[in-house]
Structure 1
Amino acid sequence: MAHRGKVDEATHNLVRNGPIKGRGAASYVRGRFEKTVAEAEDDGWGSVYADDKESDENATGGAPPKLTTQVTEERARSIVSRNDSPDIPFSQSLNPYRGCEHGCVYCFARPSHAYLDLSPGLDFETKLYAKTNAAELLRREFARKGYRCSPISLGINTDAYQPIERRWRITRQLLEVFAEHRHPVSLITKSALIQRDLDLLAPMARDGLVTVYVSITSLDNRLSSKLEPRAAAPHTRLKTVQALHEAGVPVGTMVAPVIPMITDVEIERILEAAYEHGARAAGYVLLRLPHELKEVWREWLALHYPERAAHVMSLVRQMRGGKDYDSAYGTRMRGEGPFADLIAMRFAKAYRRIGFGRLPPLDASKFVPLAPRTPASPQGELF
């Protein structure tokens, strides 16, 4: 791993001597589809970051300039994704955005930015795309003659309530479509912004049309700010669970991801706190490191936990058949081997002791297909 603003010999990424405030990734990890590769070179004079007025003159390499979030409007061609994966509990999903400003360093969706010829590292959390025609496409999808209603999971690859949702309100528009058509929807988020939409979610919940999971990785504010720098703080997420519960919205929690030697010690505490605040179901997912995410994660470990980085990765490989990641169905979410079995037993024991159950099933029988809205013709009143 690179240190003190030097070039990483393995990845050729220029990694600074400390983390970038408000960002999870430490560099522009190259995408696996890039045809033209730029390699960083440090001449030792700190000139790479010369324009940063806040750089520490005594630190080798200095500090990088502040990164701003860029949002590009995207006119999507389709909006509902379908899968038949045996270890995913939904067959339809919808993502209103590409990329995610939360900057969670462990996010399994980071490698998807490589398809855009962008870095799964810093680009994933700074160069975002807003699907501004999402609600229009969803109405068209529901109006198709061959459409068969089944629950849709909203915000899987990227959080539907990430910070840019405050301005763009695409998730809000989509929920209005779900409510109009009485279509079942499930959400998973780590943002308190979901409370803004309780006026839609509460009536839908009374009709069995919505469930929510709030993801909680750690109860430690300092650790959370390193892992997921722009997501809601842990105590805020617990208050969000309580607000949803009190509004009558079925809510559960996801302890995700469970990271060996980093967050695994907190499994029981997270479950207890979530239940106290109203969560009535729970699940967990083991840390997943597909494609370029391995590099993003290793850089983060080197910056934040250099003394235990080797041990963490050793345990990860023990649970992944000797590799950094194994994408095989059935084991990719939970891992395998003694350490993975121990995590599973701990979770199951706490789950039973605390009294968790299952969220009520979503009701697809109330779906009302409606014709898509079409703009009025300027000449419509002439005939």
Structure 2
Amino acid sequence: MGMVGGGLDAFIGAVHRRAATMDHEIELVCGAFSANPEKSKATGHSLYLPPDRVYDTFEEMIRREKELPEGERMDFVSIVTPNHLHFPPAKLALENGFHVVCDKPMTINLEEAKALAKIVEETGLLFCLTHNYTGYPMVKEARAMIKAGKLGEIRKVIVEYPQGWLATMTDTSGNKQADWRTDPSRSGAAGCMGDIGTHAENLAEYITGLKITEMCADLTTYVPGRQLDDDGNVLLHFENGAKGVLHASQIANGEENDFNIRIYGELGGLQWFQMEPNTLIYKTNEAGARRIRTGVGELSPESKAATRIPAGHPEGFLEAFANIYHNFALTLRARMNGEQVDPIYLDFPGIEEGIRGLAFIETCIASNDSTEKWTKFKE
């Protein structure tokens, strides 16, 4: 793996590195870790990389890695930069024969997302988008239960992602994470909805297997002086006639990362909370509520494949992130060896999820600006 972004003072880059190497399927071999060459060198030094594999720019990294013999060069690029710097390195990497893992949202706008999709199609290379919450074992169990018909026809979906860390004006106080996430030139057209609303959209579609077709969005910027939305409420219509509510907020004072989802069908319901990830609650009118636990009892093959340690030992954010990298790595390894890929390991978000994420953002904004009640999903 080569990495673009993820310098010493970055949050998500370190998460990617830990997740990627957790199962010993991936080795970090090079990087262009910062737009500042000195910071890139310092990061490479702290990661014990050879100085000649630490680059000043991603363009230099891709060019020089391509010149190395096969077996010595990087096999794929992991992009962990702010949103506006996702498309250029992804495009260049794909055009030079390197597979890509990219943080979400995939690009800064839908136009770039569609352009990237075309390049992926033309090159035939692998593209993985790190919607990491899909990696939790109980999320995969929920998806498998719905596929198996345990809930019957899906009728209602409620997905929420409240945070409180942007309840005050931290944007210009030296908080690097707040600084770029609230800047339209680096984050894109949406703030809260682009940062965490896309996770809610993705999780709802991943678990249910249903696509959103229409939305009615109400976005708000509560903190004076902030340029992008910090709170949003969205009504959803799904392709089978199911209806839903999506709520995302970064000004919910006192909240940490209370990402949760409730799904109701004609036969029963499911409930999952990211802050208690090892538990999935299955409810029916006849039997009441039953707790399904990671690693306990008869679970789906997908859930078992995403579980590393015995029941009762918490598996959390890093492990879910690692499951995305694990599946990508095994898929890539099989392809490189000319082998058939186990379908279980094809379960990682890709280019389609990336396009739908950007379409969700743009539809939210269009709906918020419209006087019509419903706005068709932009894709």
- TM-score normalised to structure 1 length: 0.31
Which structure shows the bigger proportion of residues in strand conformation? 2
Q: Hey, which of these two has a bigger chunk of helix by percent?
A: 2
If the length of structure 2 is used for normalisation, what is the TM-score? 0.31
**Structure with the greater alpha carbon radius of gyration:** 1
